[in-house]
Amino acid sequence: MTPSGSTSPAATAVSSQLSRARLAEIWETPADLRGILSSVDHKTIGKRYLVTAFVFFILGGLEAVVMRAQLVHGDMHLLTPEAYNQLFTMHGVTMIFLFASPVLSGFSNYLWPLMIGSRDMAFPRVNALSYWTFLLAGIFLYSSFLVGQAPDGGWFGYAPMTQRAYSPGLNIDFYALGLIYLGISTTVGAVNFIATFFTLRAPGMSLDRVPVILWGTLTVSFLIVFFIPALTVASTFLYLDRNVGTHFFDAANGGHPLLWQHLFWIFGHPWVYIVVLPAMGLASDIIPTFCRRPLAGYTFVALATIATGIVGSGVWLHHMFATGLPPLAMSFFSGASMTIAIPSGVSVAAWLATIWYGRPVFKVPFLFMIGFIILFVIGGVNGVMTAPVPFDWQLTDTYFVVAHLHYVLLGINVFPVFGALYYWMPKMSGRMMSERIGRWVFWLMFAGMNLAFFPMHITGMLGMARRVYTYPSGMGWDAANLVTTVGAVVFAAGVLLFLVDLVRSLRVGPLAGDNPWDAPTLEWSTTSPPPPYNFAVLPTVRSRYPLWEDRIPEGARSIVGRGPVLDDGRETIGTSPLDADPVAVLHMPPDSSWPLLLALALTVVFYALLAVSWLWTGVGALLVFICLVGWLTPSRPSRGAGED
C-alpha cells in the first residue's frame, strides 16, 4: 500500500457501464494457469481457504469415524494401537489447526473487505502467502501418512514422550515442523487482518459500526501475534531436542518436561478462543438478519469478545491442575477460568434478547444459530464444571473433557460455520442452497452431535480415560460408546447431505440476487457473486446496518451506490483507525507469483529440516531469500503497480 494523499477522491455519480468495464479490466485476474497461481483477490483466497479447510474437515471426520468404529464396543481389534494413536493425533491436529482456524480465516478473508466497503485486504500478496503456506503446511503434515509415520503424540505432544528416545520415527518431526510452518501462515494472516481493520474500513465506519465478526477476528489476530510464538518456540525446542541434541525437555539432563506444557498451553488455551471468537462474530452478524432487528447490546458483545481474549490468555494452567502445582496458583487459574463464563454469558444474553425482541424468521442459517446457542450453553457449563481444581482432578483426561471440547469446537465453531455457509453461499456463488435439504442437514448434524457427544459426559464420569485405543467390556461404558458411534455416523450423514446440497445448488440453485435475506451489511449491497473490484463506487457508512436505514432521516443515511470510483489503477480508500475518516487513496499491488514461490521455497526448507539435511536447508533458505528479494523489488511504475 502506498498512500498517495494528493489524489483527492472525487465524488462522482456512477453507474456507467464504462467505469465498471474499466474497473473489471484493472482488477480481474486472468483465468489462465498463471492467473490462478498468482491471484491476490481476497475473494479467491477466501474461497480457497474455505474449500481447503473443508477438505481437511472431511479428512479429520473420516479419521473420527474410523476411530468410532474401533470404539463401538470393548476389546475391538479393527485398528492396531499405533494406527489408532496416529488417527486420534491427526484428527486433533487436523480439526484444530487445519480446519477450525483456517475455515474462519476463509470467511474473514472473503467477507472483511466486502463488509467494510473496501476492495481488498491491506496486504493482498501477504494474504496469498498466508493461504499457500497453510495449504503446503497441511500437505506437509499429511505427507507423513505416505511414509506411515503420522504424528502419534496427541495434538498436545507432551514431552518427554515426544523425545527421540520414546518416539524414534519421523512422526513427531512432522508434527514439530508442521506446526512451525503453519505458524508462519497464521501469523502473516493475523498481521494482515490487524492492518486491514485499522486502515481500510469504509469512510464513516467508526469503531462502533463494524460488523461483529471483525471484532472476533481482530481479537484473535492479536492473540495469534502474541501467542503463536510460544508454540513456535516450543516446537523449535522439540525439534532441537530430537535432532540436535539439546535437552530442553529432558529431565535427566537439566531440562524439564513441564516447560513444554507451559509453552504449549500458553499458546493452546488462547487458541481455543482463536477458533471460536470469529465464529461467535459470524453468529452475531447472522442472528440480527433473521430476527429482523439490530443485535441487542452491540457494545457489550464487542467488549465481551475482547474481554474473552484477554482473560483467555491467563487461564492456561487449568490444563495442568494434576501436574503438582502450588495450590494458590491453581486457585488463581481456577477463578480466572470461571470468570470467562461472564463474557460468554453476556454474549448469550445478547443473542437471546435479540431473538426475544425480534421477529424470528426460521430459515436454515437461523436454525444453525439456534443449535449453536444451545450447544454454546452446554459447552460453556460443562467447561465451568472442569474449572474447579478438585473436580478437574477427576474429570481431566477422561471422556468428559472430550465431550466438553467437542461441544465447544462443534457447537461454537462448526455450527456457526455451517450456518454461515448457508447464509453467505448465495453471495459467494450467486445461487441459493435448498431450504428443504438444509433442514435435514441441520437436524442430522444437531441430533448426531448430541448423540455422539452427550454420552461422553457419562463415560467420563464413569471413569473412562481419553486416548485409549480400546477398553474392556463390562465397565459400564459399552452402551454409551455404542450410542456415540451411532451419533458420529448420523453427524457424518448430515455433512454428506450438505455436500450434496452444495454441489446441487452450485449447478442448479435458484439465482440469489444481491440481497436474498434482506440483510443489513455492506456485502449485500453488491452483486452476487461480487465483481473483482467488489464495489463500483466505494460506500460511505453512517450506521451499523447500512442497508437497514429506512427509519433514519434521509440526510443521515449511509451512501451506497454513489461516491468515489477510484479507477486509476488498483485503488481503494484508506481511513483513520478510530473514526474511519478518509485519509488516503491506496494503490494496491497487482497479482503476483512471489507468494506461491516463497511458500514453495519454505516447503523445501521444512522437508530439508525433516531429513536433517543442513545442505538442503541452506539451499531452501537461499531460495527463500531470492523469493523475498523478488517480492520486494519494486516493479516498474506502471498503472496500478504498488507494493505491499
- Within 505-544, the residues that bind other proteins by CB under 8 A are 518, 520, 543
Under rule CB under 8 A, residue 394 binds other proteins: yes
Beta-strand relationship, 582-587 and 11-12: unpaired
**To the nearest whole angstrom, how small is the minimum distance from the Cβ of residue 288 to other proteins?**
9
Under rule CB under 8 A, residue 246 binds other proteins: no
Under rule CB under 8 A, residue 208 binds other proteins: no
Q: Which of residues 321-350 bind other proteins (CB under 8 A)?
A: 322-324, 327, 330-331, 334-335, 338-339, 341-342, 345-350
φ, ψ of residue 460 in degrees (nearest 5)? -65, -45
CB 329 within 8 A of CB 317: yes
Under rule CB under 8 A, residue 548 binds other proteins: yes
Choose one: 72-80, 205-213, 500-508, 587-595; the region binding other proteins (CB under 8 A): 72-80
Among 11, 28, 73, 82, binds other proteins (CB under 8 A): 82
**Would you say 132 or 517 has its CB closer to other proteins?**
517
SS3 state at 559: strand
HEC secondary structure over 105-166: HHHHHHHHHHHCCCCCCCCHHHHHHHHHHHHHHHHHHHHHHHHCCCCCCCCCCCCCCCCCCC
Under rule CB under 8 A, residue 577 binds other proteins: no
Under rule CB under 8 A, residue 145 binds other proteins: no
Q: Which of residues 165-194 bind other proteins (CB under 8 A)?
A: 166
φ, ψ of residue 564 in degrees (nearest 5)? -65, 140
Say how far residue 244 (Cα) sits from the centre of its chain. Answer: 34
**To the nearest whole angstrom, how small is the minimum distance from the Cβ of residue 260 to other proteins?**
10
Among 18, 21, 139, 465, binds other proteins (CB under 8 A): 465
CA angle 317, 318, 322 (to 5 degrees): 95
**Would you say 358 or 532 has its CB closer to other proteins?**
358
CB 231 within 8 A of CB 183: yes
Q: How far is CA 402 from CA 109, 383, 464, in A?
A: 30, 11, 11
Choose one: 203-211, 276-284, 297-305, 607-615; the region binding other proteins (CB under 8 A): 297-305
Closest among 490, 408, 486, 406 to 441, alpha carbons compared: 490
Under rule CB under 8 A, residue 262 binds other proteins: no
Among 245, 476, 513, 630, binds other proteins (CB under 8 A): 476
Choose one: 121-129, 138-146, 290-298, 593-601; the region binding other proteins (CB under 8 A): 290-298
Under rule CB under 8 A, residue 263 binds other proteins: no
Among 3, 9, 35, 154, binds other proteins (CB under 8 A): 154
What residues contact 55, with CB distance under 8 A and at least 6 apart? none
Among 226, 391, 443, 616, binds other proteins (CB under 8 A): 391
Exposed/middle/buried for 436, CB within 10 Å: 0-12, 13-18, 19+? exposed
Choose one: 186-194, 226-234, 353-361, 593-601; the region binding other proteins (CB under 8 A): 353-361
Under rule CB under 8 A, residue 303 binds other proteins: no
> Rounded to an integer, what distance in angstroms lies between the CA atom of residue 65 and that of residue 80?
15
Enumerate the β-bridge partners of residue 573: 585
Under rule CB under 8 A, residue 398 binds other proteins: yes
**Would you say 123 or 333 has its CB closer to other proteins?**
333
Total of residues contacting other proteins (CB under 8 A): 98
Enumerate the β-bridge partners of residue 574: 584
> Rounded to an integer, what distance in angstroms lies between the CA atom of residue 461 and that of residue 274?
29
Q: Give helix 124-142 / helix 81-93 axis angle, nearest 10°.
A: 170
**To the nearest whole angstrom, how small is the minimum distance from the Cβ of residue 466 to other proteins?**
7
**Would you say 189 or 388 has its CB closer to other proteins?**
388
**To the nearest whole angstrom, how small is the minimum distance from the Cβ of residue 411 to other proteins?**
12
Choose one: 159-167, 272-280, 408-416, 496-504; the region binding other proteins (CB under 8 A): 159-167
Residue 68 grid cell = 468410532
What residues contact 196, with CB distance under 8 A and at least 6 apart? 112, 113, 116, 118, 121, 122, 123
Q: Give helix 415-429 / helix 101-115 axis angle, nearest 10°.
A: 40
Under rule CB under 8 A, residue 270 binds other proteins: no
Under rule CB under 8 A, residue 72 binds other proteins: no
Q: What is the DSSP string of 92-108?
A: HHIIIIIIIHHHHHHHH
Choose one: 49-57, 110-118, 379-387, 574-582; the region binding other proteins (CB under 8 A): 379-387
Among 24, 65, 461, 621, binds other proteins (CB under 8 A): 461
Widest pairwise Cα distance in the chain? 79
Among 393, 500, 613, 614, binds other proteins (CB under 8 A): 393
Among 16, 21, 81, 618, binds other proteins (CB under 8 A): 81
Q: Which of residues 409-448 bind other proteins (CB under 8 A)?
A: none
Choose one: 80-88, 118-126, 206-214, 412-420; the region binding other proteins (CB under 8 A): 80-88
Under rule CB under 8 A, residue 294 binds other proteins: yes
Under rule CB under 8 A, residue 284 binds other proteins: no
Under rule CB under 8 A, residue 364 binds other proteins: no
Number of Cα atoms under 13 Å in the Cβ half of residue 357: 11
Among 111, 228, 389, 599, binds other proteins (CB under 8 A): 389
**To the nearest whole angstrom, how small is the minimum distance from the Cβ of residue 259 to other proteins?**
10
**To the nearest whole angstrom, how small is the minimum distance from the Cβ of residue 352 to other proteins?**
6
> Rounded to an integer, what distance in angstroms lies between the CA atom of residue 207 and that of residue 305?
14
Q: Give helix 478-508 / helix 415-429 axis angle, nearest 10°.
A: 10
Q: How far is CA 104 from CA 96, 107, 229, 584, in A?
A: 12, 5, 20, 29
